[in-house]
């Protein structure tokens, strides 16, 4: 089975669960070591290869990531419908390679805190991503804008990248 067919099959493996009024949790199992998954989340050149859902028409313009406690990130995107580029910015609160990464999302006052946990077992990595919002309204708005809906496609793209890295 080729990498893209494998990734399409794996799309069904991405689970999204709204755990509370303020938290959504996304899980996925990747065929590969946690070290490679962690690198894909923390290396700008790799992030740019998978992080934006291609079907959204968004393209990376630049990606900066100072991945250390207190370090910052800045992802800048373009889209044909946008007059100006859009940036996602935030700060890393915890960095524990290759198992845990916690960061803020500071694009707005209602930004979330994201916790990424990676657990490796038998050559596979179980990814758990938790987005915690300051209010129910903030999570509702993020979901309405499609912020959560892109994860299956993003994770398919990550799966393809990981297969090429092995």
Q: What is the rounded distance in angstroms from the CA atom of residue 66 to the CA atom of residue 151?
A: 23
pLDDT digits (tens, 9 = 90+) for 146-165: 777 889 999 999 999 999 98
Tokens 């987005």, residue?
A: 131
C-alpha closest to that of 31 among 148, 154, 161: 161
Report pLDDT for 7: 46
Residue 93 · residue 71 · CB < 8 Å: no
Indicate if the alpha-carbon torsion angle 46, 141, 85, 109 is positive or negative. Answer: negative
Report pLDDT for 126: 97
Class of 3-165 per CATH? alpha beta
pLDDT at 142 over 90: no
């Amino acid at each position: 089975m080729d990498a893209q067919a494998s990734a399409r099959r794996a799309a069904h493996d991405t689970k999204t669960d709204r755990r509370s009024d303020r938290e959504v949790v996304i899980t996925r199992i990747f065929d590969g070591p946690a070290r490679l998954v962690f690198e894909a989340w923390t290396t700008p050149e790799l992030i740019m290869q998978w992080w934006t859902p291609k079907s959204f028409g968004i393209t990376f313009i630049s990606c900066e990531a100072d991945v250390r406690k207190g370090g910052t990130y800045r992802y800048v995107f373009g889209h044909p419908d946008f007059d100006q580029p859009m940036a996602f910015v935030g700060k890393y609160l915890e960095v524990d390679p290759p198992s845990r990464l916690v960061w803020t999302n500071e694009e707005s006052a209602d930004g979330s805190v994201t916790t990424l946990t990676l657990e490796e077992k038998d050559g596979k990595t179980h990814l758990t991503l938790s987005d915690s919002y300051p209010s129910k309204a903030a999570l509702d708005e993020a979901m309405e804008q499609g912020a959560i809906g892109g994860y299956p496609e993003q994770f398919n793209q990550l799966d393809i990248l990981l297969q090429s890295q092995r």
